[in-house]
Structure 1
Amino acid sequence: MPEIKKIKEEYLLKLDQVLDQNKLNEIKTELFGKNGIISNKFKQLGSIGEDKRKEFASELNFLKNELQELILKKNENIQNQEINKKLKD
């Protein structure tokens, strides 16, 4: 699905550029909030033909899990950087 690939590429780039916790939380909300991109894609599953629904849902789940994992790793990195900065001061 090209739109899932586009979302992935866009947010991988955004996550790579995040330097602080606030921006990371904004991205997380953009993706997984009540009206987030991923949330809305899951809501669209009902309108997709049965033949393509399973593939779309599978790809969407994979993307969701991948992005959540990247957000967790980025969060850990930011926290470690903040701790190191405090220790140096």
Structure 2
Amino acid sequence: MGSRANSQAAVERRIRRIAQRRGLSLLIAQKRNSKIEAHGGYMLRDDETFAIVFGNRQYDFCADLEEIEAWLEKDEGEADE
């Protein structure tokens, strides 16, 4: 039986909260295409400038939740230094 704490919706909410503390918004692709379906579906946007800060390297919404989470953790580590 699956755990609610690890459901995709729960992970999205957790990442959204972490991002918001850093002034970022988690964006989710509304219109899916084959590229997005194959990998990704997420981007991070700076709330102040509306610039995309992560998830648009190869194409829009190319990041998956694990990549977003790793980027946020890396960003947090650099901010502590």
TM over 0.5: no
**Length-normalised TM-score, structure 1:** 0.29
Choose between structure 1 and 2 for higher RCO, CA contacts under 8 A separated by at least 6 residues. 1
Higher strand share: 2
**Length-normalised TM-score, structure 2:** 0.31
